[in-house]
Amino acid sequence: MADQSDVWLVVPVYNEAQVIADVVRNALETFPNIVCVDDGSRDGSADAIRGSGAHLVQHPVNLGQGAAIQTGVEYARSQPGAEYFVTFDADGQHQVADVLRMLERLRAEPVDIIVGTRFKGDDSHIPLIKRVVLKTVVAISPRLRKLKLSDAHNGLRVFNKKVAEELHITLNGMGHASQIVDMISHRGWRVTEEQVEILYTEYSMAKGQSLINGVNILFDTALKTGSKR
Protein backbone atom coordinates (compact mmCIF):
# COMPACT_ATOMS: atom_id res chain seq x y z
CA MET A 1 0.00 0.00 0.00
CA ALA A 2 1.23 3.49 -0.80
CA ASP A 3 2.48 5.69 1.97
CA GLN A 4 -0.38 7.92 3.08
CA SER A 5 1.54 10.15 5.48
CA ASP A 6 0.92 13.22 3.30
CA VAL A 7 -2.84 12.73 3.62
CA TRP A 8 -5.00 14.30 6.30
CA LEU A 9 -8.50 13.16 7.11
CA VAL A 10 -10.72 15.94 8.42
CA VAL A 11 -13.63 14.59 10.42
CA PRO A 12 -16.27 16.97 11.76
CA VAL A 13 -17.81 15.46 14.87
CA TYR A 14 -21.00 16.45 16.61
CA ASN A 15 -22.41 14.12 19.25
CA GLU A 16 -20.98 10.93 17.78
CA ALA A 17 -19.50 9.38 20.94
CA GLN A 18 -21.07 6.00 20.12
CA VAL A 19 -19.28 5.48 16.87
CA ILE A 20 -16.43 7.93 16.46
CA ALA A 21 -13.74 5.80 18.12
CA ASP A 22 -14.51 2.89 15.79
CA VAL A 23 -14.60 5.08 12.72
CA VAL A 24 -11.24 6.63 13.61
CA ARG A 25 -9.66 3.31 14.48
CA ASN A 26 -10.78 1.83 11.20
CA ALA A 27 -9.48 4.78 9.18
CA LEU A 28 -6.20 4.90 11.11
CA GLU A 29 -5.25 1.51 9.74
CA THR A 30 -4.81 3.22 6.39
CA PHE A 31 -4.34 6.89 7.15
CA PRO A 32 -1.92 7.93 9.89
CA ASN A 33 -3.15 11.52 10.08
CA ILE A 34 -6.67 12.22 11.23
CA VAL A 35 -7.98 15.38 12.78
CA CYS A 36 -11.36 15.23 14.46
CA VAL A 37 -13.05 18.55 15.03
CA ASP A 38 -15.38 18.19 17.96
CA ASP A 39 -18.03 20.80 17.28
CA GLY A 40 -19.09 21.43 20.87
CA SER A 41 -20.53 17.94 21.42
CA ARG A 42 -22.26 17.25 24.71
CA ASP A 43 -22.01 13.49 24.73
CA GLY A 44 -18.38 12.78 25.46
CA SER A 45 -17.28 12.66 21.81
CA ALA A 46 -14.12 14.52 22.77
CA ASP A 47 -13.09 11.82 25.24
CA ALA A 48 -13.77 9.14 22.68
CA ILE A 49 -11.54 11.00 20.22
CA ARG A 50 -8.79 11.49 22.80
CA GLY A 51 -8.41 7.76 23.21
CA SER A 52 -8.61 6.99 19.51
CA GLY A 53 -5.29 8.19 18.16
CA ALA A 54 -6.67 11.11 16.17
CA HIS A 55 -5.76 14.75 16.63
CA LEU A 56 -8.47 16.59 18.51
CA VAL A 57 -9.50 20.18 17.87
CA GLN A 58 -12.42 21.26 19.96
CA HIS A 59 -14.81 24.10 19.26
CA PRO A 60 -15.73 25.68 22.58
CA VAL A 61 -19.32 26.03 21.32
CA ASN A 62 -21.35 24.36 18.61
CA LEU A 63 -20.86 26.21 15.33
CA GLY A 64 -22.11 23.85 12.64
CA GLN A 65 -20.60 21.39 10.22
CA GLY A 66 -19.30 23.95 7.75
CA ALA A 67 -17.36 25.71 10.48
CA ALA A 68 -15.98 22.41 11.73
CA ILE A 69 -14.70 21.45 8.30
CA GLN A 70 -13.03 24.82 7.89
CA THR A 71 -11.36 24.46 11.30
CA GLY A 72 -10.16 20.96 10.48
CA VAL A 73 -8.74 22.00 7.13
CA GLU A 74 -6.96 24.97 8.69
CA TYR A 75 -5.44 22.68 11.28
CA ALA A 76 -4.42 20.07 8.75
CA ARG A 77 -2.93 22.47 6.22
CA SER A 78 -0.65 23.91 8.90
CA GLN A 79 0.85 20.50 9.60
CA PRO A 80 4.22 19.74 8.03
CA GLY A 81 4.03 17.44 5.04
CA ALA A 82 0.29 17.80 4.50
CA GLU A 83 -0.42 17.59 0.76
CA TYR A 84 -3.81 15.92 0.41
CA PHE A 85 -6.96 16.49 2.39
CA VAL A 86 -10.08 14.42 2.83
CA THR A 87 -13.38 15.43 4.38
CA PHE A 88 -14.84 12.35 5.99
CA ASP A 89 -18.06 11.95 7.96
CA ALA A 90 -17.95 10.78 11.55
CA ASP A 91 -20.91 8.44 11.38
CA GLY A 92 -19.28 5.61 9.50
CA GLN A 93 -21.02 6.24 6.18
CA HIS A 94 -17.84 6.48 4.16
CA GLN A 95 -15.51 3.76 2.97
CA VAL A 96 -11.74 3.88 3.29
CA ALA A 97 -11.48 2.03 -0.01
CA ASP A 98 -13.34 4.86 -1.75
CA VAL A 99 -10.94 7.40 -0.29
CA LEU A 100 -7.95 5.41 -1.48
CA ARG A 101 -9.32 5.28 -4.99
CA MET A 102 -10.01 9.01 -4.99
CA LEU A 103 -6.52 9.77 -3.70
CA GLU A 104 -4.95 7.62 -6.34
CA ARG A 105 -6.76 9.63 -8.99
CA LEU A 106 -5.92 12.94 -7.35
CA ARG A 107 -2.24 12.03 -7.37
CA ALA A 108 -2.31 10.88 -10.98
CA GLU A 109 -4.76 13.16 -12.76
CA PRO A 110 -4.65 16.93 -13.32
CA VAL A 111 -7.44 17.75 -10.89
CA ASP A 112 -7.59 19.77 -7.68
CA ILE A 113 -10.63 18.27 -6.02
CA ILE A 114 -12.61 15.08 -6.34
CA VAL A 115 -16.12 14.93 -4.94
CA GLY A 116 -17.88 11.72 -4.08
CA THR A 117 -21.13 10.86 -5.79
CA ARG A 118 -23.80 8.36 -4.97
CA PHE A 119 -25.37 8.53 -8.38
CA LYS A 120 -22.95 7.09 -10.87
CA GLY A 121 -23.79 3.46 -10.44
CA ASP A 122 -26.69 1.63 -8.95
CA ASP A 123 -28.42 4.02 -6.57
CA SER A 124 -31.37 1.88 -5.57
CA HIS A 125 -30.09 1.47 -2.00
CA ILE A 126 -30.46 5.19 -1.40
CA PRO A 127 -33.72 6.04 0.34
CA LEU A 128 -36.17 7.15 -2.33
CA ILE A 129 -37.00 10.54 -0.93
CA LYS A 130 -33.30 11.38 -0.55
CA ARG A 131 -32.68 10.33 -4.10
CA VAL A 132 -35.50 12.47 -5.43
CA VAL A 133 -34.46 15.56 -3.48
CA LEU A 134 -30.77 15.28 -4.30
CA LYS A 135 -31.50 14.77 -7.97
CA THR A 136 -33.85 17.72 -7.99
CA VAL A 137 -31.10 19.91 -6.57
CA VAL A 138 -28.85 18.93 -9.46
CA ALA A 139 -31.62 19.35 -12.01
CA ILE A 140 -32.37 22.92 -10.99
CA SER A 141 -28.77 24.04 -10.55
CA PRO A 142 -27.11 25.19 -13.75
CA ARG A 143 -23.79 25.41 -11.94
CA LEU A 144 -23.82 21.75 -10.93
CA ARG A 145 -24.69 20.74 -14.45
CA LYS A 146 -21.92 22.86 -15.85
CA LEU A 147 -19.38 21.31 -13.49
CA LYS A 148 -20.86 17.89 -14.27
CA LEU A 149 -21.48 17.13 -10.62
CA SER A 150 -24.27 14.73 -9.83
CA ASP A 151 -24.30 14.81 -6.03
CA ALA A 152 -24.09 18.23 -4.45
CA HIS A 153 -24.25 17.08 -0.86
CA ASN A 154 -21.80 14.27 -0.61
CA GLY A 155 -19.63 14.63 2.47
CA LEU A 156 -16.69 12.77 0.97
CA ARG A 157 -14.22 14.98 -0.86
CA VAL A 158 -10.50 14.81 -1.45
CA PHE A 159 -8.48 17.81 -2.51
CA ASN A 160 -4.96 19.10 -2.81
CA LYS A 161 -3.06 21.81 -1.00
CA LYS A 162 -4.13 24.55 -3.40
CA VAL A 163 -7.78 23.95 -2.57
CA ALA A 164 -7.03 23.65 1.15
CA GLU A 165 -5.22 26.99 1.13
CA GLU A 166 -8.00 28.74 -0.73
CA LEU A 167 -10.89 27.19 1.14
CA HIS A 168 -12.92 29.73 3.08
CA ILE A 169 -16.18 28.29 4.28
CA THR A 170 -18.28 31.04 5.79
CA LEU A 171 -21.62 29.27 5.96
CA ASN A 172 -21.37 27.55 9.30
CA GLY A 173 -24.28 25.18 8.90
CA MET A 174 -25.02 22.67 6.19
CA GLY A 175 -24.90 25.29 3.43
CA HIS A 176 -21.18 24.64 3.12
CA ALA A 177 -21.70 21.94 0.51
CA SER A 178 -23.23 24.43 -1.92
CA GLN A 179 -20.61 26.94 -0.92
CA ILE A 180 -17.83 24.55 -1.86
CA VAL A 181 -19.46 24.04 -5.26
CA ASP A 182 -19.57 27.81 -5.50
CA MET A 183 -15.86 28.08 -4.78
CA ILE A 184 -15.08 25.33 -7.29
CA SER A 185 -16.66 27.36 -10.03
CA HIS A 186 -15.40 30.77 -8.91
CA ARG A 187 -11.82 29.85 -8.17
CA GLY A 188 -11.52 27.58 -11.15
CA TRP A 189 -10.52 24.45 -9.25
CA ARG A 190 -10.36 21.51 -11.56
CA VAL A 191 -13.01 19.13 -10.37
CA THR A 192 -14.20 15.65 -11.08
CA GLU A 193 -16.28 13.13 -9.25
CA GLU A 194 -15.91 9.54 -8.21
CA GLN A 195 -18.50 6.91 -7.49
CA VAL A 196 -18.56 6.17 -3.77
CA GLU A 197 -20.65 3.96 -1.61
CA ILE A 198 -22.56 5.43 1.29
CA LEU A 199 -23.55 3.00 4.00
CA TYR A 200 -27.01 3.84 5.22
CA THR A 201 -26.93 2.25 8.63
CA GLU A 202 -29.68 2.74 11.12
CA TYR A 203 -27.35 4.97 13.08
CA SER A 204 -26.41 7.20 10.16
CA MET A 205 -30.01 7.42 9.02
CA ALA A 206 -31.05 8.66 12.42
CA LYS A 207 -28.14 11.07 12.55
CA GLY A 208 -28.16 12.25 8.97
CA GLN A 209 -29.48 15.67 8.23
CA SER A 210 -33.19 15.76 7.76
CA LEU A 211 -34.43 16.85 4.38
CA ILE A 212 -36.33 19.75 5.87
CA ASN A 213 -32.93 21.25 6.56
CA GLY A 214 -32.79 21.79 2.81
CA VAL A 215 -34.99 24.80 3.42
CA ASN A 216 -32.31 26.31 5.64
CA ILE A 217 -29.65 25.53 3.09
CA LEU A 218 -31.59 27.19 0.30
CA PHE A 219 -32.24 30.24 2.40
CA ASP A 220 -28.65 30.66 3.53
CA THR A 221 -27.35 30.15 0.04
CA ALA A 222 -29.80 32.59 -1.51
CA LEU A 223 -29.04 35.30 1.00
CA LYS A 224 -25.31 34.92 0.93
CA THR A 225 -23.98 38.44 0.63
CA GLY A 226 -21.26 39.97 -1.44
CA SER A 227 -19.59 41.06 1.77
CA LYS A 228 -15.98 39.97 1.73
CA ARG A 229 -15.26 40.39 5.39
Partner 1 sequence: MLIQFLLIGGVIVLLVFFLRHHGTTKTAAGVKIGFALFMVLAAVAVLRPADVSMLAEFVGVGRGTDLVVYALVVAFGFATINTYLRFKELELRYARLARAIALRNAEPPKHDDAVAAVDGNVDGNVAANAEATVDATADADAKDQARSA
* Interaction site with partner 1 (CB under 8 A): 17, 21-22, 25, 28, 35, 37, 44, 47-48, 50-61, 63-64, 67, 70-71, 74-75, 78, 170, 172, 223-229
Whose Cβ is closer to partner 1: residue 76's or residue 102's? Answer: 76
Q: How far is the CB of 71 from partner 1 (least distance, A)?
A: 5
Q: How far is the CB of 82 from partner 1 (least distance, A)?
A: 14
Q: How far is the CB of 41 from partner 1 (least distance, A)?
A: 12
Q: How far is the CB of 55 from partner 1 (least distance, A)?
A: 5
Whose Cβ is closer to partner 1: residue 59's or residue 94's? Answer: 59
Whose Cβ is closer to partner 1: residue 60's or residue 142's? Answer: 60
Whose Cβ is closer to partner 1: residue 150's or residue 178's? Answer: 178
- Residue 169 CA to residue 172 CA, distance in Å, equals 7
- Residue 114 CA to residue 91 CA, distance in Å, equals 21
Q: How far is the CB of 26 from partner 1 (least distance, A)?
A: 11
Largest CA-CA distance found in the chain, in angstroms, rounded: 46
Closest alpha carbon to 115 in 148, 78, 81, 145? 148
- Residue 168 CA to residue 63 CA, distance in Å, equals 15
Q: Estimate the crossing angle of helix 176-187 against helix 65-77, to 10 degrees.
A: 50
Whose Cβ is closer to partner 1: residue 59's or residue 118's? Answer: 59
Helix-then-strand count for the chain, H and E: 10, 7
- Residue 183 CA to residue 200 CA, distance in Å, equals 28
